[in-house]
Structure 1
């Protein structure tokens, strides 16, 4: 007769989030990172292995923001990001770095995570694994205030970031003289559900 092994049920996103927060310093960035990691742990969002961070950054993040919390480096979803198809990776990193509120390891983690999420096909907040668009807006205002301030018309964030890259290069591909008269206006500025 074989002994039965009792498997513990998988944790929900909320349970992961609660566990992460319990081991954090409670800072605003820890709350957002806990949301991102909790979603990542249940296969939500598009973040790859180590959330898009290098091995040292991943260990630093866990050690400094979630003391005593150990995680596998592998994305539970099995996703792996192919940065070779992201020609604008360095430009996005530079854009975010240019507007960062502080030069520190935490800022570099956020930049790497945001850039990795830009490879996804959903809204940036969904690809990151944040729980709502207002959470992304708050994260960007906190960490990249000058950049967030530029989005005064509340353009969808991923579109906004890429628009900033185009404008920095002097590329204006819009067919209309202003966004309000463009036929694509609802795609750029509409609600994100």
Structure 2
């Protein structure tokens, strides 16, 4: 292996491209039989960019990780269960999808849900805008320092095209 063939290079990717590149590098270093120079470059790049990668992941909004949204869902479930129709034995009636049915106390249910939605309006707005937020966030440019070959001509033939794309995208 020729370590001197690998150099530090500054590139700019969107955060989505960076996330994909980082995950691709991690995937390829876990495969047997890949080029030792690629492994060296990939490991150096991964180590250099680990904090950036964690930062990108933290910036992606996921309602499932939002404690306020989880609180909203729990309270909504309590309201649903408390207002659900019951059979003669007191069991909750459900539809074909196993969702509780609310018909007998529908007005009370709707009123309580409206109050709950008003109480959690900020988090519901955030959840409803999550896709747009994440799209805008992931399309922001990010300056990165990676390890690669000096020129595309030096790259061994067995290097996967997807990795070459990120390493030399300005040449394509």
TM bucket (normalised to shorter chain) is under 0.3
Q: Which has the higher contact order (CA 8 A, sep 6+)?
A: 2
- Larger proportion of helix: 2
TM, length-normalised to structure 2: 0.23
TM, length-normalised to structure 1: 0.21
- Larger proportion of strand: 2
